[in-house]
Structure 1
């Protein structure tokens, strides 16, 4: 017996341990069951989950971070720990309370939504936000954050546009890369998502997106390519949808040919939760980790290994990539966690980020900034119940949210006597009347409070100015609607009209604050307002951040990362959005929450003509162009210098001078117009951008840009290559796509081509 015990002890000592032995030895020491467990997560349990989506082992889920999205499987005998993965794009998403810690809270900071961060055009700030999110993730023992979400804003009604960045792939890619860098600077992994072409929510689990290769390369994959090269994310999350007939998580072309061979990606690919249908095809395609993991997936993979339809070498390759991720993780390094992040310090970062992303759309007769201690009539339901961010995986369980009323009062402004109480009573009366919805869907909002003309007339006599907030919710699982969402509701329009009439009759101004997650219609009502501030969904410090800008404590410097069209029909994607049903419901094909799925398809007929590429090239009038945003000061552009371009990169510089009376920041946007070509080209395309530091009146800063030769190219699908034509190019620097301040041509003597 002693000999057997000694032999067992010796055998245990000889087991290869992760990080101590070569990875090949660790993989070889794993059993088949352990390998399959490593490429499938621990699973999830929640109401309504179909049987085939249940966790692999009931009761075996490691729930030491309640509310985290999922976890990988540990193999303690080989020194392999479990990794914890958490949503989300606007901050750490975990449960705020725990059964084993009564009286203690586990809140996280709610940062501004993705559309707001992108509108800052400030990659250094976005990187700082990423680091703050990572610090909170580390405090809560989270290894990988499932962010950034970076699909293109193809059409304003896309349900998750709020957490995505822009209609432009350069803004998207640079913003995403900065967030990735900020996260991974702190040792927390990022997961760029949703790869790829997940541009709306309708039938997202089954829809087939048909996209031509040029549009794929130039619009829908380009941002991901930038994020891969500049951010080097630890993980990528494949999307739910099909792309040209294949689920993205099962697409060898997308995950192996493009991502790994052409882009040289070295990290791990995971599915979106319960994404795809064929676990074996996912393994072969290079989707190494199936999340959150199900018992049925493990059975399928085990059978496939036994019958030879899954090669052992493919499984070993995927296990190796999972272990490479584990080696990078805080869990493997046994990094300590406190469960006590610096919420106060991160709230300061959130507030600053919110102000930098706000866009001043209108400011007639210097309505803003407000005079100190102004007496305001604060109107609109959204002024009292602010929307800090979207729902679903983009939600954050924050400790508090500052309403616009609170923020304005904190800044020294006052509200009309009794007005806040009337709104509070109305909201309390209306809330119980709201329809119930499924727990995972965005909650309905109380309709706008009707305000009588007599009440507004009295307010206009007593108060100095009106501030009206228009708010919109956003969330996962559903797309937006034209009525009462993209457009104003009848009650909102009546409120704006009556407020404008009453206050203008007294010679007083009206300010509109847009507390929204995405583009909305403004052209039909903007003349009713003297100033319009696009505040987005700005995180938990919403009211304080809005007050910072309205008061002039912060000079707005945000610029639109999307075009605001006059009409919804002006977007070319309006033709065919969100798609069509191909066949009736299939009872055997259910989505994540058990709804019967339908086969559907959407054709991207707009091809590359997304956003300003369409509006500017085809000279379509818009409400506000891409890149637009006002300031409380003025800037001049001068001394544009352009060098190179014949063979190598193009170097450019421009001097930005604050010619106004208050300090401010400016975003310089570099567009390039290509020579005529048999391949249709947009009139101009954004190729670079930079934001100045805070310039005092009279102060200047020279901004430098470098545009690589490859970035002048368009994808030629017939050649299967990127091609930069020879000829005369024009480099244009502007304050928006339709406000070009300086331009200079350069010649390219010979055409160049580049492999994908």
Structure 2
């Protein structure tokens, strides 16, 4: 590469390019079949197992330090080793030293924040910047996007995912794929499929009714593949129908390849050691990151005849099809170093556009005439850029919320700042291990300090209210892979946090001063019990490394927040249908919700349940306020060239410039009881509209998009009749409705596959 020139240390190169001498034939796009015929069975087996099977962990740094995995090089065939790195929010590698300086990657906003923008073009722009950094650092594939459904708010990786809705998830995922791959860098669509909990994720059997599997959990992947062509798809760890997804031919061959026509590379998730021949037979092509035992199993399978050469050759072709796309093969010329300043500016801009204004009584935001601020909350001074695990990015810095506010001219109360600084230093000392590995240090800032207890200091908050103009309270939540969240002190606020909000609101309101709460979170928290107390609430999510700058932009009005929720905020955790079938702290580590999870809620995920059951929520799917107001007018829905074309005029009728996201929901007038009242089918976002300015948004959907899955006939069915097309500012704030008529029933048959090993009795809504 240009920075480390791939550090082709001879010993490491030889380890990663083991194989026979071979002939003079060199890999090209048009001779893959010939290469396959010339390779020996051992060489083929080696190509299908990641490079770690032949290279010690210590020597992996000979390529790109900190990368997730490598494919093997066969110089005799002109086959280079390729590099894969984690990267849901930026390229996850170690910093690179060039000319004595360290060079980093950009930590961009989380997928949850990206989905909150409802802006696929913006997502594509961020993804393009991620691809540029990958190219400079010689990474060939970024292992993103993750488009699993937010089935339950306790999932530890929800911050890596986009939404509870498959349409929003699929289209956002496609934008990520298209953006990264526009820079000649590959992506990996993951985790296929139903990776919806971290507890026992390696072996849990996801028992999902086929209707729900098709309509909710597979649908996002299907949509993403309709709108993009990721170089790779990553199979998940869990089981579907009692069979591990990485060995599940019904999933990987029948659905993914036969029904959807995917022709790219299927790669296993990392370190989930399985039966290697079964994985290849089932449709996985590349086993990552690779273990010696996997190579031995494949070779034994070939020798015994248990593993056919037809399967081996098919997998090898898919690997080589991937290799010839990579920069490692093409040897494209890229910049010597990434433009990190430009990418930091982009990260800041995206973050501001994805923040969601949940409450703004008396238009307290944007702040005007405010100078002195009491800033409460440990996270205000130790802010959370992103989640842990594979989402960690080795960034050069994180701008804390406190720093961002100070840099735009606000004066933070010094005594309060000193108090939190000392408290955070104490908490840091408890967490830091001097023997920590590089990755543990890199992951360090995912930890969130428990909130400081203000109860012992009875006069502190009152004194703050006397001497400052207003209060800002920050609530923080960390999240990471390998563990799920919990209800107590995580989904629900802790006693210290509740006391802080209560006391601050009481003391500041008594003096006619305002209180703003910021939620620096990766997923849903309980808000219903306390949201009536502060004057404004802003969810800033995991906003990336420029966190404090982006928060300051929104609070000052430099940026008008246009984010809208990609998930539902329920009143209480128990209101969520999946809460009855999700692992919680204290459960026995076997049996229900551990060995298997029954998706008894069926299709009733998120807003589909709450709108159909007419059950109150704290904040609905698609909800988000603005510093201005928008009028919807002149709606129309017409059939044009086989597609339904929905149009609506959006006018900024307020005093500030801003963006508006319009959501299109569709539901049958005479719906079957097993189908939701309305479902998202399309969405659009305006340009930045000045006061008085208008724009006509055009959004499309097809007849197939309106169909529901019928298990008895194993087909998608669109019934004839009237359908309500609703234009909404959220799933509950419907501004206009138009009827369309489907003149005849339509069916799209699919294979009868992926049935759960035990029938699941799904809930019904009266």
How far the C-alpha of 1:62 sits from its partner, in A, is: 6.3
Q: How many residues align?
A: 722
How far the C-alpha of 1:585 sits from its partner, in A, is: 8.4
Deviations 1:44-65 (A, max 9, x none): xxxxxxxxxx656787746320
- Equivalent residue of 1:736, what SS? coil
User: In structure 2, what is the equivalent of residue 310 of structure 1?
Assistant: 307
For 2:387 and 2:57, the matched residues in 1 are separated by: 31
Q: Which of 31, 44, 61 is 1:22 aligned to?
A: 31
Matches for 1:131-530 after TM superposition, within 5 Å: 131-275=128-272, 277-337=274-334, 340-434=337-431, 444-451=447-454, 452-530=457-535
- Equivalent residue of 1:319, what SS? helix
Tell me if the contact between 1:522 and 1:623 (Cα under 8 Å) persists in the aligned partners: yes
User: In structure 2, what is the equivalent of residue 676 of structure 1?
Assistant: 670
Deviations 1:164-223 (A, max 9, x none): 010000000000000000000010001010000000100000111000111111100111
For 1:533 and 1:219, the matched residues in 2 are separated by: 29
Tell me: CA distance 1:584–1:710, structure 2 relative to 1, closer, same or farther (3 Å).
closer
Tell me if the contact between 1:121 and 1:690 (Cα under 8 Å) persists in the aligned partners: yes
Tell me: CA distance 1:55–1:448, structure 2 relative to 1, closer, same or farther (3 Å).
farther
For 2:613 and 2:54, the matched residues in 1 are separated by: 52
Tell me: CA distance 1:339–1:449, structure 2 relative to 1, closer, same or farther (3 Å).
farther
Tell me: CA distance 1:461–1:582, structure 2 relative to 1, closer, same or farther (3 Å).
closer
Tell me if the contact between 1:372 and 1:413 (Cα under 8 Å) persists in the aligned partners: no
How far the C-alpha of 1:650 sits from its partner, in A, is: 1.5
Matches for 1:574-613 after TM superposition, within 5 Å: 574-578=579-583, 600-613=595-608
TM-score, reference length from structure 2: 0.91
Matches for 1:526-541 after TM superposition, within 5 Å: 526-541=531-546
How far the C-alpha of 1:102 sits from its partner, in A, is: 8.4
Tell me if the contact between 1:380 and 1:469 (Cα under 8 Å) persists in the aligned partners: yes
How far the C-alpha of 1:340 sits from its partner, in A, is: 1.7
For 1:721 and 1:634, the matched residues in 2 are separated by: 43
Tell me: CA distance 1:230–1:345, structure 2 relative to 1, closer, same or farther (3 Å).
same
Tell me: CA distance 1:514–1:581, structure 2 relative to 1, closer, same or farther (3 Å).
closer
User: In structure 2, what is the equivalent of residue 651 of structure 1?
Assistant: 645
For 1:434 and 1:366, the matched residues in 2 are separated by: 40
Tell me: CA distance 1:170–1:29, structure 2 relative to 1, closer, same or farther (3 Å).
same
Q: Which of 548, 558, 583 is 2:563 aligned to?
A: 558
User: In structure 2, what is the equivalent of residue 591 of structure 1?
Assistant: none
- Equivalent residue of 1:157, what SS? coil
How far the C-alpha of 1:644 sits from its partner, in A, is: 2.5
Unaligned runs of 5+ in 1: 1-10, 44-53, 587-597
For 2:501 and 2:611, the matched residues in 1 are separated by: 31
For 2:139 and 2:450, the matched residues in 1 are separated by: 39
Matches for 1:582-731 after TM superposition, within 5 Å: 600-644=595-639, 648-678=642-672, 680-731=674-725
Matches for 1:63-74 after TM superposition, within 5 Å: 63-74=62-73
User: In structure 2, what is the equivalent of residue 593 of structure 1?
Assistant: none
Matches for 1:106-145 after TM superposition, within 5 Å: 106-145=103-142
Tell me: CA distance 1:302–1:582, structure 2 relative to 1, closer, same or farther (3 Å).
farther
Give the root-mean-square deviation of aligned CA atoms: 2.2
Which moves more between the two structures, 235-244 or 56-65?
56-65
Tell me if the contact between 1:89 and 1:114 (Cα under 8 Å) persists in the aligned partners: yes
User: In structure 2, what is the equivalent of residue 750 of structure 1?
Assistant: 744
For 2:602 and 2:474, the matched residues in 1 are separated by: 36
- Equivalent residue of 2:233, what SS? strand
How far the C-alpha of 1:229 sits from its partner, in A, is: 1.4
Tell me if the contact between 1:582 and 1:601 (Cα under 8 Å) persists in the aligned partners: no
How far the C-alpha of 1:12 sits from its partner, in A, is: 8.6
Tell me if the contact between 2:379 and 2:448 (Cα under 8 Å) persists in the aligned partners: no
How far the C-alpha of 1:639 sits from its partner, in A, is: 0.4
For 1:610 and 1:283, the matched residues in 2 are separated by: 33
Deviations 1:301-337 (A, max 9, x none): 0000001000011101100100000010000011245
For 2:22 and 2:103, the matched residues in 1 are separated by: 39
How far the C-alpha of 1:648 sits from its partner, in A, is: 3.3
Tell me: CA distance 1:133–1:493, structure 2 relative to 1, closer, same or farther (3 Å).
same
Tell me if the contact between 2:252 and 2:283 (Cα under 8 Å) persists in the aligned partners: yes
Tell me if the contact between 2:671 and 2:677 (Cα under 8 Å) persists in the aligned partners: no
For 1:398 and 1:59, the matched residues in 2 are separated by: 23
Which moves more between the two structures, 89-98 or 545-554?
89-98
Tell me if the contact between 1:141 and 1:337 (Cα under 8 Å) persists in the aligned partners: no
- Equivalent residue of 1:754, what SS? strand
Deviations 1:208-244 (A, max 9, x none): 1000111111100111011111111010000011112
Deviations 1:724-751 (A, max 9, x none): 1001100000100000000011111111
How far the C-alpha of 1:432 sits from its partner, in A, is: 2.4
Matches for 1:83-122 after TM superposition, within 5 Å: 83-96=82-95, 103-122=100-119
Tell me: CA distance 1:254–1:679, structure 2 relative to 1, closer, same or farther (3 Å).
farther
User: In structure 1, what is the equivalent of residue 74 of structure 2?
Assistant: 75
Tell me if the contact between 1:198 and 1:241 (Cα under 8 Å) persists in the aligned partners: yes
Tell me if the contact between 1:154 and 1:610 (Cα under 8 Å) persists in the aligned partners: yes
How far the C-alpha of 1:34 sits from its partner, in A, is: 1.2
Q: Which of 27, 33, 38 is 2:42 aligned to?
A: 33
How far the C-alpha of 1:584 sits from its partner, in A, is: 7.6
Tell me: CA distance 1:721–1:13, structure 2 relative to 1, closer, same or farther (3 Å).
closer
How far the C-alpha of 1:552 sits from its partner, in A, is: 0.4
- Equivalent residue of 2:222, what SS? helix
